[in-house]
Homo-oligomer: A and B are copies of this chain.
Amino acid sequence: MEKLERLSRELVYKGAVIDLYKDKVVDENGLVKDYDTILHKGAAAVVAVTDEGKIIMVRQYRNILDRFTLELPAGGKDTIDEPTIECAARELEEETGYKSDDLELLLSIKTTVAFCNEGIDIYVAKNLKRSKQHLDEGEFIDVFEYDIEDLVSMVYEQKIQDSKTVCAILAYYNKYVNR
């Protein structure tokens, strides 16, 4: 069981949602290694369940994958101190036009622990009320409703690959449907 000690952290690049640092880390044998380190403010995602038991999903174009994806409504925290439950409620309303004040934490994940500290808290939202979608300029999101069983199938068929969405669909299905 070997703990590493960080000697230094140097800023390489400051971006809009991520900052890139170069870390120098030493192990207990004195070996020094460089690590690429991406710092991220954190995010929240929502399994929003309609009164009919359908799950709200969003479809959007993802530049990094050069294709559309089907995902949970989600988004980054405005500030590092923003409680993720507030971020979840805000992103749900902005992206889908549904409001909820009945949010319960389902899961807390770290997306990619080798080089990034991004954490996503995933909430289940119920008692949805119709509000209005209000997207950022240049943001285009289509909203759909799915049966949870169909979403689980799409995970195994690799039609849904986004990790927060895969985690959330399987965790919700296990906890509330296929007990």
Known: A4-B63, A167-B170. A158 touches B112 (CB 8 A): no
Cα(A33)–Cα(B171), bound, Å: 35
Q: Which one, B27, B59, B115, B119, contacts A140 given CB within 8 A?
A: B27
Closest chain B residue, CB of each to CB of A34: B16
Distance, CA A71 to CA B111, complexed state (A):
12
A174 part of interface (Cβ distance < 8 Å): yes
State whether A61 and B174 are in contact (beta carbons under 8 Å apart), knowing that A31-B138, A108-B161, A163-B111 are contacts in the complex.
no
Q: Does A130 contact B (CB under 8 A)?
A: no
Q: Looking at chain A, what size class is its interface with the partner chain?
A: 35 or more
Across the interface, name the chain B residue whose C-beta is closest to A171.
B170
Q: Establish whether residues B166 and A113, one from each chain, have CB atoms under 8 Å apart when the complex forms.
A: no
Q: Which residue of B has the minimal Cβ distance to A75?
A: B114
Contact A113 B167 (CB under 8 A): no
**A110 proximal to B (CB < 8 A):** yes
What chain B residues lie within 8 Å of A173 (beta carbons)? Answer: 174
Within 8 A of B (CB), among A16-53: 16-18, 20, 22-23, 25, 27, 29, 31, 33-38
Report A141-163 residues with CB < 8 Å from chain B CB.
142, 152, 155-156, 158, 161-163
Closest to A105 in B: B158
- Pick from B59, B118, B161: contact of A1, CB under 8 Å: B59
Residues of A within 8 A of B (CB): 1-4, 6, 12-13, 15-18, 20, 22-23, 25, 27, 29, 31, 33-38, 59, 61-66, 68-69, 71, 76, 107-119, 137-138, 140, 142, 152, 155-156, 158, 161-164, 166-167, 170-171, 173-175, 178
Known: A35-B64, A64-B115, A112-B116. 15 other contacts (CB 8 A): A4-B63, A6-B66, A17-B114, A27-B140, A76-B114, A107-B166, A108-B158, A108-B161, A109-B163, A110-B163, A113-B162, A156-B175, A163-B164, A166-B171, A178-B178
